[in-house]
Structure 1
């Protein structure tokens, strides 16, 4: 038996609120970074305000997923929410950059718990047929945060001070916590594991931290530390593979990948991170250089991409729940993504900006067609006792794919532009303002260089989505089940299940 309609609505509101706060804190800080670094006097550490958050939110996913299976999703969710509010308070009171980075690491860790447990709780209280609609609603937090985060962060910094970028979480989060205490049911583990995979968790965390550091340092062109971190990461993942094969309760259940739905769904999730999330950060630079737009105008293309993703995510979630069919959406979505990115590769520079806006909006719509849906489908293919672990795995491959691909693309752009620039132009000091103020011949030359560098990138990303078409076709035929989940244990008499 599922939750009553009122209880379920309250639950969705609570989960959507905290998911939005977690996603927003990843985007809202970007426009306040320069002010924060200036006031705290550590410009050289500025990037770690973002890197620390991202790193913590990534490496903790499998650990928190397993803890959710062992201790219960409600407990991990509430602890993560309290920790997130405490970390937000500490960020605002930061007296130096080290303090702020440490608080951001705690914020990233707790944000991972909020994101992961929100999806796990929905999976435990809904049927497979209902799940895509609710998962899409919660998943809408991410694209909305991308749309409003930078603008909101800038406005708060200008009018209230950068501390309120973090403190704004407190009243909203406190209200969400009160609602969560009422609405989130007690979800006992289906079959509590006897052992927690401490060795696997430690080795995996070390290997993943080393990987993220390696790609970050590679992007900064610090070859020695990057190579050492990469070697440590490879050794760590090899050791992790053998540990997980022997572990009685692995944090990443490798045997699940023998299931075709889980294997194909995980591949599709990775493709989202590699194929789209990795390129969005570089689109404004591309359009400022190749299309000679201002910084403000260049932001319209990512906005169109994210808006397409948001609309498609909600629409396909509703359609999948209504019809019970899901396979067609990732097939169409990956085909749209591959086609749109290929068109971006062949578009001549200098076209009206609305043309690439439509094209990238199509890529966003294709991605949104299976972004949240595939999580719901994979959850339905795993045992209920492993819901947290499999949800963590599918989120993990998306984030790692995005992180690694972003670093690779950044390196390709940096080396490619530097190699093609004519004498007299230095890539390290080349800015859109400098190019726009140059002679028409220089502007045309730089535009051609950026088009030449980005063309193979778009082709590679289109090929990534083409691989996704294969993964989508490999998803088994079938319909989402209407079979009700077992009723969760509740302590609230006023809101029956």
Structure 2
């Protein structure tokens, strides 16, 4: 939605407006008198942060040449792994020495400085003119995604079977309606004709792998290593840190190399191969190995993912039609976030269901924590460690298969300098079924 608005009125206006809303919602989070208030403020904060992310990428695309774009996009992409590495540490220090409210309030002074710099430095980029906003498409897409996430969350719970089936039905109806609306809309929120361009279509597929293949599993890695390797919470955090550090290094390196050489095709191919290989190795690693072994393997997965994480956004932007850079950028990010959200919910449900069915007698999945496991008998700890390994092995293999799809898509990437607008699905270009 914000990508379309950025194309209509210009990305600078959306960027500055999102920054104001982000500052205001951050202050509101800090002053929240109840959990409901905090949840609402966080939703608004999340919406505004999406505007900041999308419009920063769009502004870079509009103010740089295709040759320069990868290195600048890599700098923006580096903000994510840096935030993961530094954010929790700073947040913990602020909470310990000030209060949890300051985790949100600190955004105000920093945001005001950023706003002033943006007003001065970000140039005016004219929009494509006001057009009718695709309200129906936006509503059906939102409804379909929410229903789909709920459905995959509930589907593994036998007590929620009916609710899951209803949610799946609602998701199917909403997404089918969304496709029909987008094919007929004069100004669709997600122009499906873009998928007729091979560069955009393959780029979106490769970008989705970042969400499905890595973001979805990262949140569960600390729990996996606390249970399977019987580490502490602090030590278990080293594995995702190694993963993120690998992403940071390769993200900056490949962005610089792509801008310097003018070629990009090898990076997604090598990156998806490394990701697939690393996750496949994770599936066969036995428990009890020194922690540096899975750290090294996941660092390789991070290196592979970072090789195309930001680069592919720059490639897709270069293939976008004039005046639709924001919409295409939003589509890439939307597919990535939806993939991460749905895959995270599905993985969480599978883990919860499988672990509950294999626990030793006397242990309840609802109250199972690393502290409970570490206090259990040696025999129970060994059984739980093997259980988690057996549960996570097929998950790692499934995510490796996701990267394997990316290998195929990378082979279809158009070499730099080749003609654009080669239709992959001609019926999308015609806008009819």
**TM-score surpassing 0.5?**
yes
Q: Deviations over 1:157-200 (max 9, x none)?
A: 111111101000011100000000011111002x4363322222
1:218–1:92: structure 2 CA closer, same or farther, 3 Å change rule?
Answer: farther
In the alignment, the residues of structure 2 paired with residue 272 and residue 153 of structure 1 have an alpha-carbon distance, to the nearest angstrom, of 25
Deviation at 1:426, TM superposition (A): 2.2
Residue 328 (structure 2) aligned to one of 390, 396, 401: 390
Residue 83 (structure 1) aligned to one of 6, 14, 21: 21
Residue 198 (structure 1) aligned to one of 132, 135, 142: 135
Residue 208 (str. 1) matches residue 145 (str. 2): yes
Deviation at 1:205, TM superposition (A): 2.3
In the alignment, the residues of structure 2 paired with residue 399 and residue 377 of structure 1 have an alpha-carbon distance, to the nearest angstrom, of 19
1:109-258 alignment, distance < 5 Å:
109-189=47-127, 191-192=128-129, 194-218=131-155, 222-258=160-196
In the alignment, the residues of structure 2 paired with residue 218 and residue 99 of structure 1 have an alpha-carbon distance, to the nearest angstrom, of 30
TM-score (norm 2): 0.93
Q: Which residue of 1 aligns with 2:429?
A: none
In the alignment, the residues of structure 2 paired with residue 194 and residue 403 of structure 1 have an alpha-carbon distance, to the nearest angstrom, of 31
Residue 313 (str. 1) matches residue 237 (str. 2): no
Secondary structure of 1:263's aligned partner: helix
Contact 1:345 1:459 in 2 (8 A): yes
Contact 1:325 1:480 in 2 (8 A): no
Contact 2:273 2:403 in 1 (8 A): yes
1:99–1:292: structure 2 CA closer, same or farther, 3 Å change rule?
Answer: same
Q: Which residue of 2 aligns with 1:333?
A: 271
In the alignment, the residues of structure 2 paired with residue 121 and residue 252 of structure 1 have an alpha-carbon distance, to the nearest angstrom, of 19
Residue 415 (str. 1) matches residue 353 (str. 2): yes
In the alignment, the residues of structure 2 paired with residue 227 and residue 198 of structure 1 have an alpha-carbon distance, to the nearest angstrom, of 27
In the alignment, the residues of structure 2 paired with residue 198 and residue 456 of structure 1 have an alpha-carbon distance, to the nearest angstrom, of 40
1:218–1:165: structure 2 CA closer, same or farther, 3 Å change rule?
Answer: farther
Q: Which region of structure 1 is more displaced relative to structure 2, 154-163 or 423-432? A: 423-432
Q: Deviations over 1:20-60 (max 9, x none)?
A: xxxxxxxxxxxxxxxxxxxxxxxxxxxxxxxxxxxxxxxxx
Deviation at 1:223, TM superposition (A): 4.0
**Count of aligned residue pairs for this structure pair:** 418
Q: Which residue of 2 aligns with 1:31?
A: none
Q: Deviations over 1:250-285 (max 9, x none)?
A: 110101111111111100111111111000111111
Residue 460 (structure 1) aligned to one of 394, 398, 402: 398
In the alignment, the residues of structure 1 paired with residue 114 and residue 418 of structure 2 have an alpha-carbon distance, to the nearest angstrom, of 31
TM-score (norm 1): 0.82
Residue 300 (str. 1) matches residue 268 (str. 2): no
Q: Deviations over 1:102-126 (max 9, x none)?
A: 1111111111100000000000000
Contact 2:149 2:345 in 1 (8 A): no
In the alignment, the residues of structure 2 paired with residue 219 and residue 158 of structure 1 have an alpha-carbon distance, to the nearest angstrom, of 38
Unaligned runs of 5+ in 1: 1-62, 482-497
1:163–1:217: structure 2 CA closer, same or farther, 3 Å change rule?
Answer: farther
Deviation at 1:479, TM superposition (A): 4.4
In the alignment, the residues of structure 1 paired with residue 147 and residue 382 of structure 2 have an alpha-carbon distance, to the nearest angstrom, of 41
In the alignment, the residues of structure 2 paired with residue 226 and residue 118 of structure 1 have an alpha-carbon distance, to the nearest angstrom, of 37
Secondary structure of 1:101's aligned partner: helix
In the alignment, the residues of structure 2 paired with residue 86 and residue 254 of structure 1 have an alpha-carbon distance, to the nearest angstrom, of 35
Deviation at 1:420, TM superposition (A): 1.9
In the alignment, the residues of structure 2 paired with residue 353 and residue 442 of structure 1 have an alpha-carbon distance, to the nearest angstrom, of 21
Deviation at 1:150, TM superposition (A): 1.8
Contact 1:80 1:114 in 2 (8 A): yes
In the alignment, the residues of structure 2 paired with residue 225 and residue 417 of structure 1 have an alpha-carbon distance, to the nearest angstrom, of 22
Q: Which residue of 2 aligns with 1:34?
A: none
In the alignment, the residues of structure 1 paired with residue 90 and residue 233 of structure 2 have an alpha-carbon distance, to the nearest angstrom, of 17
Q: Which residue of 2 aligns with 1:275?
A: 213
Contact 2:374 2:381 in 1 (8 A): yes
Residue 11 (structure 2) aligned to one of 65, 69, 73: 73
Residue 401 (str. 1) matches residue 361 (str. 2): no
Q: Deviations over 1:313-349 (max 9, x none)?
A: 0110000000010000000000000000011011111
Q: Which residue of 1 aligns with 2:369?
A: 431
Contact 1:273 1:402 in 2 (8 A): yes
Q: Which region of structure 1 is more displaced relative to structure 2, 447-456 or 429-438? A: 429-438
Q: Deviations over 1:427-466 (max 9, x none)?
A: 2222222222222222211111111111111111111101
Residue 289 (structure 2) aligned to one of 345, 351, 357: 351
What's the C-alpha RMSD, in Å, of the aligned pairs?
1.6
